[in-house]
C-alpha cells in the first residue's frame, strides 16, 4: 500500500534526523484493476497472460467475446478501418523506442473505438519478453466511446499475428473488472538538509514514490527514491552541509496522472525562483552513466564540470535533455532540470511488470547511483554562485 510506504518513509526520515520531514497532500485518481483474464477461444483454446492498462474501463461481468483483427501500426489500422467494427483490435507493434511504441498504449483504445472496435489490445511495450505483460497508463478522449484496453505478452501478440496471417479466424474472450474510483488523497514526501549559508535556495533531488500495482516497483521508481534519499543521508553522515538546502522530494502519482509533480509545482510556486535545480532519477538504478541537463548553455558548462567528478565511476557523461516526468513542470517554470542517466539495456524488460522486483537491483549499481546523485546535488548546492538560468 502506497500510503503505508509513505508513512514508513516519513518515520525513517525522522530517524535520519532530516529536517522539515512531511507529506504534502495531493488528490490523485484511483484506478483499480480487479480480476482480469483473456482466453483465446479460436482457433484453439489458450489462457493468455494479460495486464489491463491503467485507466481502462472494465468489460461487462460476463466479458467481451469477439473476433480479433491484428494490425502492426496505426497506419495499418487506418487502411483496414472498414474491417474493425464490432471486433477487438490487437496492435502487434514491435518495440522501436519507448516514446514511439507507447503511443499504442496511450491512444490505442481511442484509435480503435473510432472505427467501432469493442475492445483493444496491445503487444506489451518492451524490447524483449519472458511471456511478460506490461501495464501502464492509457487515455480516452471525450468524443470517442470508451472501450476496454489491455496488454498481451509480446509472444502472444506475435502468435496471434501469425494466426491472423494464415487466415484463421481468431476469437478471444476478455474479462476485466477494472474501474476508476473517486479521487483520494496521497502525499508527496519532502525532507531536507538545510543549507548553511543560503537555506532559502534549494536543490531538489528525488524520484516518484508511486508504482504500478504489479511487481514491487523496484527500478520504477523505489530505486530512484532511495538514490536521492540516501544521497542526502550520506552527505549528512559525512558531516557535510552545503551552502544551499538539499530537498529530497518523492512525487506521488507519476504513473497514473502526474498529479504529484503538478501539486509540488503549485504548492511551491512562490519559491521556484529559488530552486537552483531539480534532479530526478526515474530510469532504474542500473550502472550510472551521467546526467541529462535541460537549462542554459552557461549552466550546462557548470553541470558538465561537476560531472567530471564522477569520472572515477564512469558516470561523467553530461548530455542534453534532463526533463524527466516529475521535473518537467519545474523546468517549464524556469528551474534547470537534471535527470540521472543509467545503462538502459534492461530497464524496459522490467518496466511496469511483475518482474520489477528487488532482486533485480544490483547493490553496487544502486550505490553508484546514490554516489552520482550525492555528488551532483552537493556541488550544485555548494557553488559560490547559484547555477545560472
User: Can 254 be counted among the known catalytic residues?
Assistant: yes
- 155 belongs to the binding site for its own copies (CB under 8 A): yes
Residues 298, 300: Cα–Cα separation, whole Å: 5
Instruction: Rule CB under 8 A: say whether 159 interacts with its own copies.
Output: yes
104 or 349: CB nearest its own copies: 349
Task: State the cell numbers at 157.
Answer: 501478440
Of residues 128 and 185, the one with the C-beta less far from its own copies: 128
Contact residues for 7 (Cβ-Cβ < 8 A; gap 6+)? none
Choice between 268 and 360, CB closer to its own copies: 360
CB 115 within 8 A of CB 85: yes
Nearer to its own copies, 134 or 208 (CB): 134
CA 16 from chain centre, in angstroms, equals 27
The nearer residue to its own copies, 1 or 62, going by C-beta atoms, is: 1
- Contact present, 28 and 184 (Cβ < 8 Å): yes
Residue 130 or 269 having the CB closest to its own copies: 130
| Long-range residue pairs from 366-369, CB within 8 A, at least 24 positions apart, any chain | 366/223, 366/226, 366/227, 366/285, 368/287, 368/288, 368/313, 368/315, 369/223, 369/224, 369/227, 369/281, 369/285, 369/286, 369/288, 369/340, 369/342
Residues of span 241-300 touching its own copies by CB under 8 A: none
Give the separation between CA 352 and CA 361, rounded to whole angstroms.
15
**Minimum CB separation from its own copies for residue 132, in Å?**
5
Q: For the chain, how big is the Rg over CA atoms in Å?
A: 23
From 349, 366, 372, 374, residue interacting with its own copies (rule: CB under 8 A) = 349
Q: What x/- string results for residues 169 through 208 when contact with its own copies is judged by CB under 8 A? A: ----------------------------------------
d(CA 240, CA 263): 31
| Nearest to its own copies of 67, 213 (CB atom) | 213
Residue choice 17, 20, 131, 308 for contact with its own copies (CB under 8 A): 131
Binding piece for its own copies, criterion CB under 8 A, among 9-17, 153-161, 198-206, 284-292: 153-161
Q: What is the chain's length?
A: 389
**Closest CB 88 distance from its own copies, rounded Å:** 22
Q: Are strands 317-320 and 275-280 parallel, antiparallel or unpaired?
A: unpaired
As a whole number of angstroms, the distance between CA 87 and CA 112 comes to 9
Task: Kindly state the smallest distance separating residue 367's Cβ from its own copies, in Å.
Answer: 20
> Can residue 129 be called a binding residue for its own copies (CB under 8 A)?
yes
Q: Which helix (H) or strand (E) holds 5?
A: helix 2-15
Binding-site string for its own copies from residue 84 to residue 123, where x marks contact by CB under 8 A and - marks none: ----------------------------------------
Which of 173, 192, 254, 280 is labelled catalytic?
A: 254
DSSP letters of 285-352?
A: SSSEEEEEEES-HHHHHHHHHHHGGGGGGT--EEEE----TTTHHHHHTT--EEEEEE--TTHHHHTT
Does residue 165 touch its own copies according to CB under 8 A? no
Interaction mask 17-56, its own copies, x per CB under 8 A: --------------------------------x-------
Q: Judged by CB under 8 A, which stretch of 100-108, 154-162, 260-268, 325-333 contacts its own copies?
A: 154-162
**From the CB of residue 57, how many other CB atoms can be counted at a distance below 10 Å?**
18
Instruction: Among 136, 148, 195, 215, indicate the residue that binds its own copies (CB under 8 A).
Output: 215
354 binds its own copies (CB under 8 A): yes
- Burial track 16-29 (b if 16+ CB lie within 10 A, e otherwise): bebeebebbebebb
Minimum distance between the CB of residue 368 and its own copies, rounded to whole angstroms? 21
The residues of the shown chain that bind its own copies, judged by CB under 8 A, are 49, 129-132, 154-155, 158-159, 215, 349-350, 353-355, 357, 359
Which amino acids are annotated catalytic?
254
Amino acid at each position: 500500500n502506497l500510503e503505508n510506504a509513505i508513512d514508513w518513509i516519513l518515520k525513517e526520515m525522522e530517524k535520519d534526523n532530516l529536517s522539515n520531514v512531511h507529506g504534502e497532500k495531493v488528490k490523485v485518481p484511483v484506478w483499480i484493476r480487479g480480476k482480469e483474464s483473456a482466453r483465446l477461444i479460436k482457433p484453439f483454446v489458450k489462457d493468455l497472460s494479460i495486464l489491463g492498462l491503467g485507466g481502462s474501463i472494465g468489460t461487462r461481468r460476463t466479458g467481451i467475446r469477439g473476433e480479433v483483427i491484428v494490425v502492426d501500426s496505426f497506419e495499418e489500422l487506418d487502411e483496414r478501418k472498414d474491417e474493425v467494427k464490432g471486433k477487438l483490435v490487437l496492435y502487434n507493434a514491435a518495440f522501436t523506442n519507448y516514446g514511439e511504441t507507447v503511443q499504442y498504449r496511450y491512444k490505442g483504445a481511442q484509435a480503435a473505438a473510432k472505427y467501432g472496435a469493442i475492445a483493444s489490445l496491445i503487444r506489451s511495450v518492451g524490447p524483449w519478453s519472458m511471456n511478460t505483460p506490461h501495464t501502464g497508463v492509457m487515455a480516452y478522449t471525450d468524443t470517442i466511446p470508451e472501450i476496454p484496453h489491455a496488454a498481451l505478452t509480446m509472444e502472444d501478440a506475435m502468435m496471434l499475428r501469425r494466426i491472423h496471417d494464415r487466415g484463421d479466424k481468431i476469437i478471444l474472450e476478455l474479462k476485466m473488472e477494472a474501474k476508476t474510483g473517486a479521487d483520494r488523497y496521497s502525499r508527496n514526501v519532502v525532507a531536507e538538509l538545510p543549507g548553511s549559508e543560503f537555506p532559502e535556495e534549494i536543490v531538489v533531488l528525488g524520484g516518484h514514490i508511486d508504482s504500478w500495482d504489479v511487481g514491487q516497483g523496484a527500478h520504477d521508481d523505489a530505486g530512484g527514491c532511495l538514490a536521492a534519499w540516501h544521497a542526502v543521508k550520506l552527505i549528512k553522515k559525512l558531516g557535510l552541509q552545503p551552502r544551499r538546502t538539499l530537498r529530497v522530494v518523492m512525487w506521488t502519482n507519476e504513473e497514473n496522472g502526474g498529479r504529484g509533480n503538478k501539486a509540488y509545482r503549485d504548492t511551491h510556486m512562490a519559491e521556484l525562483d529559488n530552486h537552483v535545480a531539480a534532479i530526478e532519477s526515474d530510469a532504474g538504478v542500473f550502472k550510472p552513466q551521467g546526467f541529462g541537463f535541460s537549462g542554459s548553455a552557461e549552466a550546462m558548462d557548470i553541470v558538465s564540470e561537476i560531472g567530471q567528478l564522477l569520472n572515477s565511476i564512469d558516470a561523467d557523461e553530461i548530455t542534453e535533455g534532463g526533463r524527466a516526468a516529475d521535473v518537467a513542470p519545474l523546468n517549464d517554470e524556469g528551474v534547470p532540470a537534471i535527470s540521472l542517466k543509467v545503462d538502459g539495456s534492461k530497464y524496459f524488460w522490467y518496466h511496469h511488470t511483475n518482474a520489477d522486483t528487488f532482486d533485480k537491483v544490483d547493490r553496487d549499481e544502486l550505490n553508484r547511483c546514490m554516489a552520482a546523485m550525492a555528488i551532483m546535488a552537493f556541488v550544485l548546492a555548494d557553488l559560490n554562485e547559484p547555477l545560472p538560468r
